[in-house]
Amino acid sequence: MLALSRKKNEAIIINNNIEITVLEIKGEQVKIGINAPKEVPVYRKEVYIQIQESNQEATNVAGVESLKGLL
């Protein structure tokens, strides 16, 4: 993991086309802005995990249903 220090209004660039900027710092909370192409999905980690779990559940259910049709 790369750890960087940034101050308010400073940014980092990822892969030449994603910019992450520190917008505000209040106590232990940091507000960031992310500028990325539309085709690059950006999720909070907890939302991303929920999506992955839902996709896994859907795959498991679809797999069982398709096997029932074979019997």
Are 53 and 70 in the same domain? yes
Domains identified in the chain, total number = 2
- In tens, the pLDDT along 3-33 reads 999 999 999 999 999 999 999 999 999 999 9
Confidence (pTM): 0.72
Are 45 and 71 in the same domain? yes
- What domain range is 16 assigned to? 1-37
Are 51 and 26 in the same domain? no
Q: How far is CA 49 from CA 25, 42, 56, 57, 69, in A?
A: 26, 12, 11, 12, 31
